[in-house]
Amino acid sequence: MHVLLATSELNPYSKTGGLADMVSALARALAGTGLQVSVVTPLYRGMTKTFPGIEPTSWRWDVPIGDSLVDGRFHCQKPSPNLTLWFVEQAEFFDRPGLYGEVGRDYADNSARFIFLSRAALILARHLPEPPKVVHCHDWQTGLIPILARHDQLRTGWTQPPRTIFTVHNLAFQGSFPAASWGLTGLPSDWLHLESALHFQRVNFLKAGLTQAQAITTVSPNYAREILTPEYGCGLEGLLLKRYNDLGGILNGVDYEEWNSASDPALPASFSAQDLSGKATCKAALQREMGLPEDSGVPLFANISRLTDQKGSALIIQTLRSLVDAGESLQFVLLGSGDRALENAFGDLAKRFPTQVAARIGFDPALSHRIEAGADFYLMPSRFEPCGLNQLYSLRYGAIPIVRAIGGLQDSVVDPRDNAAQATGIKFTAYSAAALHKAILKALALWKEPAWLQHLRHNGMTADFSWEKHSAEYVALYESVCRE
């Protein structure tokens, strides 16, 4: 079977968050099972220079976007015999400094940019010599693909369009645009209604995917249940309830080739669950790199994230301030960027407590590996978390995760209260600084119990979140939508 994955981010070519990691690892794992896999994604600025393996093809085409005809060209890379990556060149849309926007503001023409990406996906789906049986769409940027495909079937004589699957990585980002932007899609105006993409008088790309795809998945079983409730459904819970029978949750995996502490080129020393001596070297190096006193006896906490309300960054700031004020012996390192007020608050905390708190504002994948390797504990107090990848990376790198028991965090971390023998981390329930504070105090107590600490760490490092396991669920889903 041939499957086409459509995505606006693909690790290592382009990345703002876990979407990039997930799609690239899923594609490789699927190809490893023997499926033919293609991926379509934009050719963003600088990619051909950084990745000389991406080669231009002579395949040029144009598609109408509103009243204009916009030209595109495919570039291509074939990392393995059954994996082909298609990069969509359209300089005006994609040769820009940001993926979705700059200095905190979305690009004004994001609707046109991602309608264009969706159209490019359908050109591949229709004209590749061996057309894909399934197009697997990821997040709002590719949400229009199912309805565009249906239109092409009914109005342009495409006899065998692919089945479509829509995966929600984050229900909070919906791609909501003024109703007038429907004109850019080229779809008939009466196709915009409450059962398609219309949502509060606007065009909602995510809703289009949720209403039109044959099957819907999200990135953990627990989040799949949570989004049926008003608390986590972002206003779409009614629609999701209607599609209950077509909705499932498949937990993300980890690319253990990239996240392998025994061979990670970003680390100053290698280590494994059997031999942790290199982890001590990584911790000392991280303390030096971040300007903190080098001290193996102090527990080192970490967080790497987009600084947004989703990630509970404000809780971390408030809790750290009170712990350090109270004289607790701990260190904390942050790597993140996003909300300016949160960036400044972390910066201020680091200035106020230079021997205990260090903050690096920016996006730095190599440093993110060094932090996971050097940290003793990893904080993830998210308000909501569809899956979360950093807790999975932390488990493998021996940084014990401290997580709020929601979304994929609930599915991937085991608290000693639930199962002492298999415990891997510390969980708390309330979204509050008080609850996080209590969880960190538990970590500080654990720090003083080396045998227990080692028990949790070892369980985490040997837990299996490999994609080989999880990709089989996608293969089964592809097969089942093809049978329908």
Q: Using CB under 6 A as the criterion, which residues of the chain lie in contact with ligand ADP when the complex forms?
A: 17-19, 21, 304-306, 335-337, 363-365, 368, 387-390
Closer to ligand GLC by Cβ: residue 185 or 305: 305
Question: Judged by CB under 6 A, does residue 17 bind ligand GLC?
Answer: yes
Minimum distance between the CB of residue 19 and ligand ADP, rounded to whole angstroms? 6
Closer to ligand GLC by Cβ: residue 42 or 408: 408
Closer to ligand GLC by Cβ: residue 252 or 424: 252
Binding mask 328-367 for ligand GLC (x = CB under 6 A): ----------------------------------------
- Smallest CA-to-CA distance from 381 within 418, 341, 344, 332 is with 332
Residues facing 64 on adjacent strands: 69
* Residue 448 exposure: Cα atoms within 13 Å on the Cβ side: 7
Question: Judged by CB under 6 A, does residue 423 bind ligand GLC?
Answer: no
Gyration radius of the chain over CA positions? 23
Which one of ligand ADP, ligand GLC, none is in contact with 219 (Cβ closer than 5 to 8 A by kind)? ligand GLC
Closer to ligand GLC by Cβ: residue 73 or 470: 470
- Smallest CA-to-CA distance from 12 within 305, 338, 219, 258 is with 258
Q: Are 175 and 58 in contact (CB under 8 A)?
A: no
Which one of ligand ADP, ligand GLC, none is in contact with 336 (Cβ closer than 5 to 8 A by kind)? ligand ADP
- Of 174-182, 347-355, 380-388, 415-423, the segment contacting ligand GLC by CB under 6 A is 380-388
Which one of ligand GLC, ligand ADP, none is in contact with 287 (Cβ closer than 5 to 8 A by kind)? none
Which one of ligand ADP, ligand GLC, none is in contact with 82 (Cβ closer than 5 to 8 A by kind)? none
Binding mask 158-177 for ligand GLC (x = CB under 6 A): -----------xx-------
Determine which residue in the list 3, 4, 6, 19 makes contact with ligand GLC, applying CB under 6 A: 19
Residue listed under structure tokens 């300007």: 291
Closer to ligand ADP by Cβ: residue 337 or 432: 337
- Of 11-19, 56-64, 372-380, 417-425, the segment contacting ligand GLC by CB under 6 A is 11-19
Closer to ligand GLC by Cβ: residue 393 or 447: 393
Q: Are 222 and 407 in contact (CB under 8 A)?
A: yes
- For the chain, what is the total number of helices (H) and then of strands (E)? 17, 20
Query: Which residue has the CB atom at the shortest distance from ligand GLC?
Result: 18
In the structure encoding, which two tokens stand for residue 443, read together? 């970590």
Minimum distance between the CB of residue 334 and ligand ADP, rounded to whole angstroms? 9
Determine which residue in the list 255, 372, 385, 415 makes contact with ligand GLC, applying CB under 6 A: 385
Residues 212 and 228: their CA atoms lie apart, in Å, by 18
In the structure encoding, which two tokens stand for residue 459, read together? 């369980």
Burial letters 407-435, b for 16+ CB under 10 A, else e: bbbbbbbbbbeeeeeebbbbbbeeebbeb
Closer to ligand ADP by Cβ: residue 287 or 390: 390
Q: How many CB atoms lie within 10 A of CB 219?
A: 27
Closer to ligand ADP by Cβ: residue 366 or 434: 366
Question: Judged by CB under 6 A, does residue 389 bind ligand GLC?
Answer: yes
Determine which residue in the list 175, 312, 374, 388 makes contact with ligand GLC, applying CB under 6 A: 388
Residues 401 and 399: their CA atoms lie apart, in Å, by 6
What residues between 196 and 255 interact with ligand GLC by CB under 6 A? 219, 252
DSSP string across 221-275: HHHHHHTTSTTTSTT-HHHHHHTGGGEEE----B-TTTS-TTT-TTSSS---SS-
Residues facing 378 on adjacent strands: 302, 401
- Smallest CA-to-CA distance from 121 within 93, 97, 85 is with 85
Closer to ligand ADP by Cβ: residue 253 or 336: 336
Question: Judged by CB under 6 A, does residue 427 bind ligand GLC?
Answer: no
150, with CB counted inside 10 A (0-12, 13-18, 19+), is middle
* Interacting residues with ligand GLC (CB under 6 A): 17-19, 22, 169-170, 219, 252, 385-389, 408
